[in-house]
Amino acid sequence: MKVSDLRIGVKLGAGFLVVVLLTTVLGAIAMVQMSRINNNAEAIATNLLPSVEKTGDLRVLYNRMRRSEAGMVTSRSIVEVKAFSEQVGLRAKDIAQLETTYEPLINSPEEQEVFKTYKLRKAEYSVLQAKLVEIANGVDFTTAETLELTGDALAMVYAGESETAFVAVAETLGQMQKLNADNALKATEEARQVFNVARASLAITLAVCVVLAALLGVGITRAVTRPAGHAVRAARAIAAGDLTAEVPPGGKDEMGQLLTALGEMRDNLAHVVSGVRQNAEGVASASSQIASGNNDLSARTEQQASALEETAASMEELGSTVRQNADNARQANQLAVSASTVAVQGGDVVAEVVETMKGINASSNKIADIISVIDGIAFQTNILALNAAVEAARAGEQGRGFAVVASEVRSLAGRSAEAAKEIKLLITASVERVEQGTVLVDKAGATMTEVVASIRRVTDIMGEISAASSEQSAGVGQVGEAVTQMDQATQQNAALVEEMAAAASALNAQAGELVNAVAVFKLDASATRSAPAP
């Protein structure tokens, strides 16, 4: 596993652990070297220096004891001899006591051998000292001859064997003192060397710690800040609408996962925006076609309304003519020719009415087909708005504006579908009424045919003409009412078509706004080609 693939917490933990370990090593080295220096200093302070001090004290005591011996040798009375003898004894006790405190301080075989030599020479010196004290205490101070003899003997012992033994003891004490002084100097030099080694070791270890800590700090900082900088630049570019911004691939740590997620977000957002743009353009094109179709439908509806008004006027004229025919039917044969002419005209008018009703029926069927197309377009627009809302929901916060626009488009599509449904119901009702009118007009045509035939047979069936005229008048009234209702329905259809045209225009404007809204995003060719089809 690469170091860059490790998580940030692991990297930081490893860096701190290395620093702690280096600090521990540095402290351990310092403690070991300080312990060695302390041991040397303690040896000097508690052993070597006290040994030097005590050997010096021993030499001082021996010198004092030697002066007491000299005083004893040069004494001129027994009292002086006894006094100096007591001093010699006291010095011997002090020396013995000092030896007991010195002996535990011996820390080397060489010093132990010198101390043994000292003990032997001291023993020899003590024997001669006892002999010297004995001679001094036996001096007869009553006669000059005896004093001279004992004094000479005492001087010979003091200056001869005793002096030699004393010098040997003093030399041994000098060796002991020099040995301890040399050991103290050696320990001091060792302490200095340990200090120098410790200082160099600590300096090297500290330098290594600083370098490693700096390298770890720089490495961890770069491992975190470099991907973070890439992520910030990519996020700013995406926020500015540039969906072609390059997102470099990252590792497996948190920052690498963030870069990967940003790349996926950019790609998904590019697909969504491309899809929304294409769908919005499709909606704009479809709404433009719907608006154009509604304008054409409105024009045709106005034409149908005008034709129905003319038909209503014709039906009123036809009703007046039929009433006149009914009145004239009660007259005699002199009006038969005129009635026949009027009946023929009525037949022509009814034929025109039949043709007009057929045209209205065909137009109503075409309107129903157009309304079905509008209903299908509204349903497709609703599906497109739903797809846009789903894609906006996938985009999260970035797609909230798209979701609002998609919701408005879906609402407009729903309203268009409802309006188309209402128009379809009205057109269906109009078609049914037109069919009823057609049936009535057919009946009127048959009646007019019968009227013409009856008028031709006026001499035979005059009574039948009167009854047929009454029925014709009632039928024409019904046809007039049907035409009036059809005219009202056509006027309502015209109003609905105008509303549909306005809604289509609003939908076209909103689709244009949606296209402008998504136009701020910069897409590459691959994202545009791979966008989902509407």
Rg of the chain, C-alpha, whole Å? 69
- Is residue 198 domain-shared with residue 326, that is, in the same domain? no
- Is residue 58 domain-shared with residue 173, that is, in the same domain? yes
Structure tokens at 260: 């990967």
**Which amino acid belongs to residue 326?**
A
Give yes or no for a contact between 108 and 183, defined as CB atoms under 8 angstroms apart: yes
- Is residue 383 domain-shared with residue 495, that is, in the same domain? yes
Of 98, 106, 86, which is closest to residue 122 (Cα–Cα)? Answer: 98
The per-residue pLDDT for 2 is 61
Q: pLDDT by residue for the chain (534 residues), tens digit each?
A: 565 566 666 666 776 777 788 788 777 877 776 676 666 565 555 555 677 777 778 888 888 888 887 777 776 677 777 888 788 888 888 888 888 888 788 877 888 888 888 888 888 888 887 877 777 776 655 554 444 545 556 665 676 787 888 888 888 888 888 888 887 788 788 888 888 888 888 889 888 888 888 887 887 787 677 777 777 877 887 787 777 777 777 666 676 677 677 777 777 877 777 777 777 778 777 777 777 777 777 777 777 767 767 776 776 776 677 678 767 767 756 766 666 687 677 778 767 876 887 787 787 778 778 878 877 887 888 788 778 778 777 877 777 776 777 788 778 878 877 887 888 788 788 778 877 877 886 787 787 787 668 777 766 766 676 677 677 667 767 766 776 777 677 777 767 767 777 777 787 787 777 767 666 566 666 555 454 444
Q: In Å, how far are 297, 375, 425, 498 from 294, measured between CA atoms?
A: 5, 13, 17, 7
The per-residue pLDDT for 533 is 45
**CATH at residue 369:** 1.10.287
Bridge partners, residue 242, by sequence: 522
- Is residue 286 domain-shared with residue 203, that is, in the same domain? no
The per-residue pLDDT for 145 is 46
- Is residue 33 domain-shared with residue 178, that is, in the same domain? yes
- Is residue 357 domain-shared with residue 459, that is, in the same domain? yes
Give yes or no for a contact between 299 and 494, defined as CB atoms under 8 angstroms apart: no
Residue listed under structure tokens 């620093």 = 19
**Which amino acid belongs to residue 131?**
K
Judge whether 413 lies within some domain: yes
Judge whether 264 lies within some domain: no
Bridge partners, residue 522, by sequence: 242
Judge whether 293 lies within some domain: yes
* Spatial distance between the Cα atoms of 446 and 450, rounded to a whole number of angstroms: 6
**Which amino acid belongs to residue 13?**
G
- Is residue 76 domain-shared with residue 193, that is, in the same domain? yes
The per-residue pLDDT for 483 is 64
The per-residue pLDDT for 322 is 64
DSSP codes, 230-280: HHHHHHHHHHTTBTT-------SSHHHHHHHHHHHHHHHHHHHHHHHHHHH
Does the predicted TM-score (pTM) go above 0.95? no
* Helices 49-73 & 109-137 angle (0-180, nearest 10): 20
- Is residue 512 domain-shared with residue 374, that is, in the same domain? yes
- Is residue 175 domain-shared with residue 300, that is, in the same domain? no
CB within 8 Å of 406: residues ≥ 6 apart: 276, 385, 386, 388, 389, 392
Structure tokens at 196: 């120098």
The per-residue pLDDT for 146 is 44
Judge whether 251 lies within some domain: no
* Spatial distance between the Cα atoms of 446 and 321, rounded to a whole number of angstroms: 17
The per-residue pLDDT for 397 is 77
- Is residue 296 domain-shared with residue 220, that is, in the same domain? no
As a three-state string, the secondary structure of 86-104 is HHHHHHHHHHHHHHHHHHH
Judge whether 239 lies within some domain: no
**Which amino acid belongs to residue 376?**
G
How many domains, the chain?
Answer: 2
- Is residue 288 domain-shared with residue 218, that is, in the same domain? no
Give yes or no for a contact between 73 and 158, defined as CB atoms under 8 angstroms apart: yes
Judge whether 328 lies within some domain: yes
Judge whether 261 lies within some domain: no
- Is residue 326 domain-shared with residue 432, that is, in the same domain? yes
Whole domain around residue 24: which residue ranges? 3-227
Judge whether 44 lies within some domain: yes
